[in-house]
Amino acid sequence: MNFEGRRYVIIVFMLLVGLIYSFRLFYMQVVDDTWKLRAQEIAEKRKEIIPARGVVFDRNGQKIVYNRPYFNLMMVEDKIKDLDTVAFSKLIGWTVEDVRNRFKEIREGEGTFYNKYSQKRTSNYQKVRAYPFIKELTLEEILKIAPHLDNFPGFYEEVTSMRSYPFKGGANILGYLAEVNGEEIEKDGFYRPGSNIGRAGLEKYYEKEFRGFKGVKYVVTSALNNAIESYAGGKYDTTAVQAAPLTLGLDMLIQTYGEELMKNKRGCIVAIEPSSGEILAMVSSPSFDPNLLVGNRNIKLNYPNLLKDPAKPLFPRPLAAEYPPGSIFKLVQSLIGLQEGVITMNSGFPCDKSIVGCHGHPNAGSIQEAVQFSCNPYYYAVVRRIIQQNKKSSLFEDAEIGLNRWNEYMQSFGLGKRLDADVFGERPGLIPNSAYYDKWYGHHRWAFSTIRSISIGQGEVKLTPIQMANIAAIIANKGWFYTPHFVKSIGDNGPLKKFKTKHNTMVEAKYFDPVIEGMRRVVNENGGTARMARLEDIIICGKTGTVQNPHGEDHSVFIAFAPKEKPKIAIAVFVENAGFGGTWAGPIASLVIEKYLKRRVTDMAKEKRILEAVLQGGE
């Protein structure tokens, strides 16, 4: 018998087995961390501590969003012994069937795990893990349950928090939170099942700024998953850090006052501080109490009703409604005409109603009077000169060059594109160029006479109300603006960098003076179209618009800034189906301006008229 040969076989076999085990051990420990993490989970219990979300203040230091304590009724199935389902269901106010279905829902909600090595699928649900059985209980609700939980081992209460809105305004600005889905958990390790995430408004835009930094506590556990001691004496524990507060440029007094003025009306108010671009108010009407969407229970109850409401309270009109601007657009047309040199401040044109309809007023002999009287034929003549400058012998080629140049000016005013404010849902509006009309009429098949309605802010032109308010801010600043934004400061660090960048239009500052004088006359002189917006001790510079509506009553629009010198507020008011701009939008704007600048209103009769008005299309 060849013992020497067998000895070598055994040695080779043992070396081979050792090599295989060594390779496998190396793979498990270095390459595949699944087993390492699993071993760590058995030895230690890693508890993540989620901080309360950052709070929100308005520009005057009033807390407008804070966290209110709520409670979750937690359960650990492994610790539940001989549950008296009937007694338990009575305690929490459910049926026995509801309790059984909730257990099933929790198990199924955890999904399954596929092991690529064993090719088996197992449930992610763990009996030793805590799960929320009932979420978002109020203090009153948990006080009825907590004293009796000793009778039901495996159940305990856990403190959590949810948002609260003391002013019940600004719902479309602030947004709301909702529970994360599986995709969001997989994408961002910050979240775990049951976590909340911003779903709309500022809560969504500033999600990472709001959520703070998680803390972690490690606890050594026994084989039965009972806590024994803090791991390594707490050496590796970290403290949860609440996010720094957000201070808004929003003035909650003006926001809630604007919402009161817009009750029983459809439309919006946008107010901006010209010098900073901070949004002072953004009213979307009809609106709703933001507390209606606090917590998943309220969302399930109230969101479907808000979504089905024909008045569309969830629709952010200031950001997403694209309206023809009407006569307020004449202000920008004036500025472009002056900059292009096709008119001077003293250019005059007859009010020829055979060209385009107009109301009765004297002929405008200057830009100031054209703005004051809001003369349609005047702006027909101005924009024709802008579009058709005789740079080409072909009328159609000439119109193409002129329109594209006009479009460049409009883009510099932030029109025809999203302003990129710090909130989601903003639409770009529409400022047509030659490519747009080529699609409709064909290349070189159109001229100014084809598109003349754009001269008075009708036809294809569409603006959002935030763009309208920004036009007022640009004119107040004589040619420049900061991107409108809500957040004045994140902690002590100021706004995001992009909101510190000044944007200049293509129009020089010197051309704004005659337009501003015309806007002063609109409100403060005879023949102006907004006398109802006048204030005794504050000079408002404004412009009315009456927007043609093929589906019903015309829309009422007004933009303005005040005071004339060193303006502090620029505003746009749009009231759907309300008729002439000076009748409704103008007075609403003047009330908001006075309330902001003086913190009170002096014309009580004007205020009463607006508050009591129920306009066509209102609630």
DSSP state string for 230-297: EGGGGTT-B--BPPPPEEES--HHHHHHHHHHTTT--EEEEEE-TTT-BEEEEEEES---GGGGSSHH
Question: Which is nearest to 542 in space by CA: 592, 492, 577?
Answer: 592
- Which DSSP string do the residues of 530-578 spell out, in sequence order? -GGG--SSS--EEEEEEE--TTSSPEEEEEEEE-SSS--EEEEEEETT-
Q: Which residues contact 140 (CB under 8 A, 6 or more apart)?
A: none
Could you give the CA distance from residue 74 to residue 71 in angstroms, rounded to a whole number? 9
User: For the segment 455-478, what is each residue's pLDDT rounded down to a tens digit?
Assistant: 999 999 999 999 999 999 999 999
450, two tokens: 């084809």
| Residue 440 vs residues 322, 450, 491, 602: alpha-carbon distances, Å | 20, 11, 51, 52
440, two tokens: 């409709």
> What is the number of alpha carbons within 13 Å of residue 195 lying toward its C-beta?
24
580, two tokens: 């002439």
Topology adopted by domain 252-301+317-612 = Beta-lactamase (3.40.710)
Could you give the CA distance from residue 159 to residue 146 in angstroms, rounded to a whole number? 12
The full set of domain ranges for the chain reads 63-164, 252-301+317-612
What is the chain's length?
619
Could you give the CA distance from residue 293 to residue 171 in angstroms, rounded to a whole number? 9
User: For the segment 2-12, what is each residue's pLDDT rounded down to a tens digit?
Assistant: 556 666 666 66
Q: Which pLDDT score is estimated for 224? A: 47
| Whether 170 contacts 64, CB under 8 Å | yes
Q: Which pLDDT score is estimated for 618? A: 43
| Whether 83 contacts 100, CB under 8 Å | no
Could you give the CA distance from residue 301 to residue 321 in angstroms, rounded to a whole number? 27
Q: Which pLDDT score is estimated for 42? A: 44
Q: Let me know if the fold of 63-164 is the same as that of 252-301+317-612.
A: no
Q: Which residues contact 161 (CB under 8 A, 6 or more apart)?
A: 52, 53, 67, 68, 69, 70
- CATH of span 63-164: 3.90.1310.10
Residue with tokens 């003035």: 251
Q: Give, rounded to a whole angstrom, the gap between the first and last alpha carbons of the chain.
A: 105
Could you give the CA distance from residue 380 to residue 398 in angstroms, rounded to a whole number? 17
Neighbours of 592 (CB within 10 A): 26
Mean pLDDT of each 10-residue bin along the chain, 619 residues long: 62 68 57 49 62 94 94 90 94 95 88 74 82 90 94 89 92 92 84 85 96 79 53 68 94 98 96 98 96 91 94 95 96 98 96 86 94 95 96 95 98 97 95 96 95 94 97 98 98 96 98 98 92 95 89 90 97 93 95 98 96 75
Q: Which pLDDT score is estimated for 619? A: 43
Q: CA torsion 31→34→38→44, rounded to 10°?
A: 60
